[in-house]
Chains A and B, each alone.
Chain A
Amino acid sequence: MSVTAWLELIVSGLITGGIYALVALGLNLQYGLMRILNIAHGEFLMVGAYLTWLVQTQFGVSPLLMVPVAFIVLMALGVVVHFLCFRRLTATSPNLDIFEARGLMVAFGLMFLVQNFVSWVWGGDLRGYDYLTEPVKMGEVQFAANKLLLFLLALLFAGALIVLMRLTLLGKGVRALMQSPIGAQLMGIDTKKLHPLMFGIGLGLSGIAGALLSMAYTITPYMGQPYTVTALIVITLGGFGSMGGALFGGLLLGVIEALGMHYTNPSLKALLSYAVFITVLLLRPEGLFTRKSRKA
């Protein structure tokens, strides 16, 4: 295999990996901070994609402009969902284990609700629009412009989140809460404000991912679930609660999938990612990149 083909393969892996990372970051924020394993995460991604598609086809607004709109709308939705469901759940659950199990169930309910709502309103057909479809040549390799844009923006937003978590006071508070909820609360960090906000930001990120995805791929009401599963795989690879791990895990999984598909056969893609997932979860449940061991 020539160098160009290798390059093309790896870069296409990285492009899908960028989206995986963005979806996984949002999910990881919710799980790491609040112990809510939001199975409905992919569904909100789909809502973001439908929003972008709807506005683009109805009013001809550029999808690029829809990216921040999707973020804000989904973030507001997230705050509302948190207010309606998870606030009560936190108040009524006797311990964290039970909260986790119940939260998972609520997320399942949300998944059914959102997915079927969209499918009821817009039907189950494939939708899409054309945006920047002409290829871009770089040396000898060429890529579709929309996919490159997608990759760059995904990396940008993922980077922005990581910077936010590393450098600002808000991010410090979030990291403190992840480390020790009780300790952070004793230091005066207000969970009642931070939890809804972070849940909202997590959903907002999935909204961005959806808006970006709709530029390059066709969308259906059922597109969310595979992304949720991939995001779960990614955060298992990177370690629950670790932001850098999620970014790196996402890119890694994208490349693994691209290489694996090239060497074996495309119908093995799902099999491959599940095999990676189960192996990692069984052998290193704390993630590939975490040094300190945390009991699962």
Chain B
Amino acid sequence: MTSRQLLIRDILVLLAFAGWALALPHYASEFVTAMALTCLMYIALSSSWGLFCGSTRYLSLATSAFFGVGAYTTAILLGTFGWVETIALGAGIALLLAVVMGAAVLHLRGTYFAVLTFGMTELILHAVTYFEKSVTGTVGRVLTVVPDNSVIYLTVLALAVLAVAVSIWVRRTRFGLALMGIGADEQRAQTLGVNSRLVKIAGFALTAAFAGAVGAAMAVRWTYIDPHTVFNPFIGFQTVLITLIGGVLTLWGPLLAAIIFSVLAESLRLQFPQIYLMSLGLMLILCVLYLPGGLASLRWTTFKQWWYETRDWAKDVKRELSGEKEHDKQRQRRREKESYFV
């Protein structure tokens, strides 16, 4: 396929998904709609996360920080501003935070970056908790003016579609190529004229803006907000999980994984919350070990490869057990000895 055909295919798939999601609340039950909402939220979060962190391989765990900041923006400003303005503000504030944070930490690589973003998230969480406790004198906030459920659904849907559309678009621009270049080899990218600092900050800010907007939109679902629910590091973890299991470098992997996860989450979480989380952990480990490219990289040949590997392993075990290996070794040793004498 040429790149133009790929673009058309991607846009068509996106439109089909969007149309389906748009029609869903009209015929499905409330439970399914709620599930779809969670699913859309994770699609938006993980697609935008993959956009920056997937291509540059900067593992950010700060998603929940931006999400929480967006949620708090809604909690504080929703009365004074309209719905759309509030969400835009949530995205804007998260973006500003990301620019400051990115300027401070994006020169660190690998594990340092991951740990530091996690630390920053916790710092913000504890700072907000402390602020609320000592200055405003409350622990949480109650949202009184809440828009209609269908409005929330449409907003999150729009954000999800926007996130996927932006990742389709960014892949085709210089900016996207620069991000990929940084992921492959940062120094080489710099040598080839990429201003890696600026590109990284811009990418990080873009991811954060989406997370902030999603947080701002989802905040009204809870009606009662406290720091520990909206800054929950689990939101960040799950975003990372979904993207990794789906496939960081692929466009549709995160979407696929988000759907699987939300179905799994909604069906298991209420009855067996621990089993849900255990299966999450197990899936992550298996995925990293056996399918590093993610679910979207699953092809017919992958199964074949697994089959060959298992077969070879079984053969090896069989040889070991039947004593043939030991026999071979002895033969080898004897031959070496003989050749020494000759």
Contacts and interface: CB of A to CB of B under 8 A. Distances in A.
Is chain B's binding surface mostly helix, strand, loop or mixed? helix
Given A117-B274, A282-B104, A97 B281 contact: no
Given A113-B278, A113-B281, 16 more contacts: A100-B110, A101-B57, A108-B237, A108-B241, A112-B284, A116-B274, A116-B275, A116-B281, A120-B272, A267-B130, A267-B133, A268-B126, A270-B126, A271-B126, A281-B112, A285-B112
A88 B289 contact: yes
Interface stretch (B29-37, B116-124, B141-149): B116-124
Interface of A: 31, 35, 37, 85, 88-89, 92, 97-98, 100-102, 104-106, 108-117, 119-120, 229, 232-233, 236, 267-268, 270-271, 274-275, 277-278, 281-282, 285, 296
A116 B59 CA distance: 24
A119 B272 CA distance: 11
A191 to B, nearest CB: 19
Contacts of B133: 267
Contact of A109 (B105, B119, B129, B282): B282
Contacts of B59: 101, 104
Given A105-B244, A271-B123, A85 B112 contact: no
Interface residues of B, number: 41
B108 interface: yes
A92 B289 CA distance: 8
Contact of B280 (A100, A112, A119): A112
B108 A92 contact: no
Contacts, number: 116
B123 A102 contact: no
In the complex, which of the residues B104, B110, B111 has the most CB atoms of chain A within 10 Å of its own CB atom?
B111
Interface of B: 57, 59, 104-105, 108-112, 114-116, 118-120, 122-123, 126-127, 129-130, 133, 237, 240-241, 244, 272-275, 277-278, 280-285, 288-289, 292
B277 to A, nearest CB: 4
Given A89-B289, A102-B288, A275 B123 contact: yes
Contacts of B123: 271, 274-275, 278
A102 B123 CA distance: 25
Given A101-B57, A278-B119, A296 B130 contact: no
Given A85-B285, A117-B278, A278-B123, A296 B109 contact: yes
A238 to B, nearest CB: 15
User: Which 6 A-B pairs have CB atoms at the shortest separation, nearest pair first?
Assistant: A112-B281, A109-B284, A113-B281, A120-B274, A109-B285, A116-B274
A55 B284 CA distance: 32
B284 A101 contact: no
A202 B104 CA distance: 32
A37 B57 CA distance: 17
A37 B284 contact: no
B219 to A, nearest CB: 23
Contacts of A105: 240, 244, 284, 288
Contacts of A111: 281
A233 B115 CA distance: 10
Given A106-B289, A267-B130, A101 B110 contact: yes
Contacts of B277: 112, 115-116
Contacts of B285: 85, 106, 109-110, 113
Given A274-B123, A282-B104, A116 B110 contact: no
Contacts of B130: 267-268, 271
A102 B248 CA distance: 12
